[in-house]
Each structure stands twice: as C-alpha cells, then as structure tokens.
Amino acid sequence: MDARGWVPATAGNFSVRLGPGRVAVTRSGFHKGMLTPAALMVVDEQGRPEDASLRPSAETGLHCGIYRRYPEAGAALHGHSIPVTVLSRRAGDAITLSGYELLKAFPGLATHEASISLPVVDNDQDIARLQAVVEARWDAGAAKIPGYLIRGHGVYVWGRDMPEALLRLEALEFMLACELEARKL
C-alpha cells in the first residue's frame, strides 16, 4: 500500500480479528510502509489494550466499531489516497458508483449494473463521536456497504479476511481514481 501512495506519513492503519474479543491493530505513530511486529498490538472489541503499557492508535475505535457491528468481518484497512481525499472533500454525504465491472468485488453485487452509495462522514478528532455518526449511517441503511469515507482523511474497508479486505480496497481505490479522472473531463 505504501508503494501506491495509500499510506503517506503515519496515515493509515490495519487490523485483523484474532478471535472472539481479540483484535490485532497497528500502533500509533509508526510509518505503515515499514511495519514490523512491534508496530502491532492486541485490543479487545472496545479498543482496550491487553498490554496496558501500549497506547493504541486513536483510530482503533473505528476498527473496533466495525468488528462489533459485523460478526463476519475478519480484517479492516484504513487507507489515505489522493482520490479518496480529494473526492471526499467535495462530496456531500455519499459518493455513488455505478456501471463499473469492479462493483462485483462488493458483496451482493453480481453485476456491474448495480450501483453503490458509499457513505461519506465528516472528519472528527473525537473518535467516539465519529464512530457514533458512522453507526447512525449504518442504522439508516448504509450497513450493506463494507466501507465508508471520512472527509479529507481516508477510507475504511473490511472483509472476511485480509485478502478480501485488500481486494475490496483495491477495487474501491480503482473506481474512485476513475471518478476523479472522469470529473476532470
């Protein structure tokens, strides 16, 4: 992801569900292009660290929010690309994607004729408040889409395991890059 410019500076973080109530998540302040095991830590689904001497990333709360809501989710990725940043800054509360073959990477979409409405929420340094906004969007009908954008900040995508989460992230980044190009024409 670093080579593609998706995790500039210390932006971006990743997580994997290890089992019931245990989530491995990247720690705060590490550059994600140079990850080592020391950059990972284990928290419960409320974001509380197993090793109390380690500080979880501020955005751990968003990863845990995904695992609490989606029992089938096994991995979550947070990226920070140029198309995501530029489009989310200009979007209203959703970005619609339709007519792309790659929509088939998302669950329940067997055809490119589908359309998805990707939620966009305002950025907020208060992560608990931000997570509450995300949950309200899920309750209002966005829960079928395994991803959302935070304005000027990045994207969250999840899947049953890391390959599926990565595949969905690749598909989403590709379609958003196409949208950005198309809007320049």
10 vs 117, beta carbon nearer a copy of itself: 10
Q: Which member of 35, 40, 133, 177 binds a copy of itself (CB under 8 A)? A: 177
**Nearest to residue 113, comparing CAs of 127, 103, 125, 123?**
103
Tokens of 172: 């989403």
| DSSP output for 152-179 | TTEEEEEESSHHHHHHHHHHHHHHHHHH
**Nearest to residue 35, comparing CAs of 18, 12, 51?**
12
**Residues of span 45-74 touching a copy of itself by CB under 8 A:** none
153 binds a copy of itself (CB under 8 A): yes
Ranges of beta strands (E only) in the chain are: 13-19, 22-26, 40-43, 75-79, 94-98, 115-121, 147-150, 154-159
With H, G, I as helix, E, B as strand and everything else as coil, classify residue 143: helix
Q: Which member of 17, 32, 63, 151 binds a copy of itself (CB under 8 A)? A: 151
Instruction: Write the binding mask 9 to 38 for a copy of itself: x where contact by CB under 8 A, - elsewhere.
Output: xxx-------------------x-------
Tracing tokens 């004729």 back to the chain, one arrives at: 113
Find the shortest distance in angstroms from Cβ 85 to a copy of itself.
5
Positions touching a copy of itself (CB under 8 A) are 5, 8-11, 31, 80, 82-83, 85-86, 89-90, 99-102, 105, 110-113, 123, 125, 150-154, 163, 167-168, 170-171, 173-174, 177-178, 180-185
Q: Annotated binding site, which residues?
A: 78, 80
